[in-house]
Homo-oligomer: A and B are copies of this chain.
Amino acid sequence: MARPREFDTKEAIASICDQFWSDGYEATGIADLESATGLARARLYSAFGSKQGMLYEAIDFYLESRINVIFSRVDDGGIAGVANFFRTFAQIVAEHPERAEMGCLVVNSMIEFGRSEPELVERADRYRERVRGAFRSALERDAAEGRLAGNVESLADLAYVMLMGLYVTVKGGAPLEEINRLCGIAIEVVESWQVEAR
C-alpha cells in the first residue's frame, strides 16, 4: 500500500545465485552483486537484509529452480537415465568447461562454511535429499520390474557419492581425460546394476 518495487525480486535472486555459484561466497563482494543485478547496494540490503540472507535466498532458488534443469533427464529414466546423467555430465565438462567449473552451488557453499551455519546445514540436507531422490525415483522403475541388482536406496546413495566426487574433481581443474575416465567408471558402475528381468 505504498510505493512498489521497481525490480523483480526473483530476477535479482537468479543473478545473485549465478554470481555466488561461479565465484563463491567470500570471493564475491557487494560490488559484484551490484553489477550482477544492476541494483545499488542499499536496494539489495532493503530487499534481502544481509549478504548471508542473499546467499540463503540464492540457495533456495537454486534448490527449487536451477537444480531441476540439472536433474531433468534423470527423474524417470531408469538405470539408463542415471547412466545418461553421467554421460551428460562428461559432455558438459568437455563442451562448456566454464559452466562445469562452477560445480554445484550447494557443494561449494557446504565446503566454504562447513557446519558452522545451521541455515546452510539444513539446506545441504535438502540438497542431498533432492539428489538422492532424483536417482531413487529413476531406479525405482527398473526395480519394480525386477531389472535392478541391489536395493534402490543404496544404489542411489552410491550414485550420489560418485557425483559429489566428480564435482570436486572437476572444480579442482583435473584434465579432461581424467574426468572422462572417472565418468566412464561411474557409468560402468551404474550399468552393472542392470539385470535381466525375471
Binding site for B on A (CB under 8 A): 24, 26-27, 101, 103, 106-108, 110-112, 114-115, 120-121, 124-125, 127-128, 154, 157-158, 160-169, 171-175, 178, 181-182, 185-186, 188-189
Which of B27, B162, B174, B181 contacts A162 (CB under 8 A)? B162
Please name 30 pairs of A and B residues whose Cβ atoms are closer than 8 Å in the assembled complex, sorted by A: A24-B112, A101-B114, A107-B111, A107-B168, A107-B172, A110-B168, A110-B171, A111-B171, A111-B172, A112-B112, A114-B172, A115-B171, A115-B172, A120-B173, A121-B173, A125-B173, A125-B174, A128-B172, A128-B174, A128-B178, A154-B188, A157-B185, A158-B162, A158-B185, A160-B165, A161-B161, A161-B169, A162-B162, A162-B165, A165-B165
